[in-house]
Amino acid sequence: MAAAKEGSDSKILLISSDGQHFQVTEAEASMSKLVSNMIEDDCTENGVPLPNVASNVLAKVLEYCKKHAAAADEDVAVKDQELKSFDASFIDVDNTMLFNLILAANYLNVPSLLDLACQHTADLIKGKTVQEIRDTRRGINLSSPSISASSVFNRSMAAPAAPQETNAAAGEMVTLISSDGARFEVPEAAARLSQTVLDEMKKDDYNAINGIPLPNVAGDVLAKVIEYCTKHAAAAAATINAETPAKTSKEEEEEVMMKSFDDEFILVDNHMLYGLLTAADAMRIQGLMDLACQRLADMLKGKTSEQMRQTLGITNDFTPEEEEDRGGGTQPLPLCRGGEEQPPPCQGGGAAAARLRLAKSMATATDGGKMVELISSDRERFEVEEAVARLS
């Protein structure tokens, strides 16, 4: 029997992915919010199958849950000291078990275990070079073959958040699923910064347990996007909670801090920058789109066409004669006829306008030619120099 009701000694049967059975107390099982919800819904009669957790990993998770559940009734000072010592010893495992614990804690929704495993991962890579971090990820054998070691590693880097940020953006949790199957638990306030996610949440058939798939966003990019959204949601919550309509010195300080955060956040390599552009477009996060576009524009500003191609990794398909006619790709000309005095009809908000601002920022580095008219999916029309159009 899955749950033998005997007061505080109620037992819950958990079944690992490889068919092993584990009898645990209800208090221990309730450390997992996933299992706790099933207990509340009286759905444990035939046991709780856990298809994403292998028996060796589940045994380790239950060791953690048993200790923390038992400590709940102890004196606070004694409990904190004892658990700190236990946690330090418990998490001293090899990389394969560590990353499998991250997966299991995320799937089972055991927040304290997830925080512990992620913090240990962060400590492992602190001060290491990029190559040393790559070496850390190699040779990892995950219990869930559908999810890559890279995705779990990136998930672990996204999970830890400063307590004030998490609390400021608190509320229901939303599960986002990357293109490579990594699942991310995100505060609803942070998730709502994505219009795409918000639209999904408003649908009648939305199921929080199933999560929201994002087929165009890889795990490492989604981890970075979540970092941005969590920070900005926390800042927005702090502003909303302000008691006075006028800006306080604290709010002004917060604005400076957010500007500093954005400046540091967007200092990424080209691969990640293009990933952020694609993700911001797919998820419709206007602030992130503007930030990434401006970063790319700043990188390209003042460069010749050839230098731009080298930055973007684009092959030059102009003939030598065409290059000669165009002045060798060194003559900066305005993007549109009439320059700033005659903006194209797409001036406004949205991702299309953000991309237009990117193009206009690049205009000082772009050589001239014929005008080409581009029409977006929502029928907005853009007149751009042929040289700009040929970058696509």
Helix/strand/coil for 241:
coil
Q: Please state which of the four CATH numbers 2.60.40.10, 3.40.50.150, 3.30.710.10, 3.20.20.70 is assigned to the domain occupying 161-300.
A: 3.30.710.10
At 226 the pLDDT is: 93
Question: Which one-letter amino acid corresponds to residue 321?
Answer: E
CA nearest neighbour of 201 among 223, 179, 176, 226: 176
| Domains of the chain, residue spans | 1-139+149-155, 161-300, 317-389
The Cα 103–Cα 147 span in angstroms is 9
pLDDT at 276: 93
Contact predicate 65/102, CB 8 Å: no
Reference 1, options 20, 29, 21, 18; nearest CA is 21
Q: Residue 57: its pLDDT value, please? A: 92
Q: Supply the pLDDT for residue 322.
A: 62
Instruction: Report the run of H or E that residue 267 belongs to, with start and end.
Output: none
Give the burial class of 93: count Cβ atoms within 10 A of its Cβ; 0-12 exposed, 13-18 middle, 19 or more buried: middle
Q: Greatest CA separation found in the chain?
A: 88
* CATH fold group of domain 1-139+149-155: Potassium Channel Kv1.1; Chain A (3.30.710)
pLDDT tens by residue, the chain, 392 residues: 344 444 446 889 999 988 999 999 999 999 998 888 888 888 888 888 998 899 999 999 999 999 988 887 666 665 678 888 899 999 998 888 888 898 888 889 898 898 888 888 888 777 767 666 666 655 455 454 444 445 555 555 444 443 334 333 345 789 999 988 888 988 888 999 999 999 998 888 888 788 899 999 999 999 999 999 988 888 877 665 544 555 566 667 778 888 889 999 999 988 899 899 999 999 999 999 989 888 888 887 777 777 777 776 666 666 676 666 655 544 443 333 333 333 333 333 444 444 444 544 444 444 445 677 777 776 777 776 666 666 66
Per the CB < 8 A criterion, the answer to whether 184 and 158 are in contact is yes
Q: Report the C-alpha gap between 254 and 236 in whole angstroms.
A: 10
What is the structure's pLDDT at 282? 92
d(CA 358, CA 366): 12
30 SS3 class: coil
**Between vectors from CA 253 to CA 249 and to CA 256, what angle results, nearest 5°?**
145
Sheet with strand 48-49: strands edge to edge? 21-25, 11-15, 48-49
Q: What is the pLDDT of residue 264?
A: 92
Burial class (CB in 10 A: 0-12, 13-18, 19+), 173: middle
How far apart are the C-alpha atoms of 185 and 114, rounded to whole Å? Answer: 11
Contacts with 56 (C-beta within 8 Å, 6 or more apart), sequence order = 97, 143
Helical residues (DSSP H) of the chain, grouped into ranges? 26-29, 33-40, 55-70, 76-90, 95-108, 111-125, 130-137, 149-158, 163-168, 188-191, 195-201, 219-240, 249-265, 270-283, 286-300, 305-312, 320-325, 350-362, 386-389
pLDDT at 166: 39
What is the structure's pLDDT at 159? 44
Rounded CA separation 245/22 (Å):
56
- Nearest CA-CA partner of 72 in 33, 12, 31: 31
- Predicted confidence at residue 69, as pLDDT, reads 87
Q: What is the pTM of this model?
A: 0.45
Give 160: exposed, middle or buried? Use CB within 10 Å, 0-12, 13-18, 19+. Answer: middle
Strand partners, 282: none
> What gap in Å lies between CA 174 and CA 192, rounded to an integer?
9
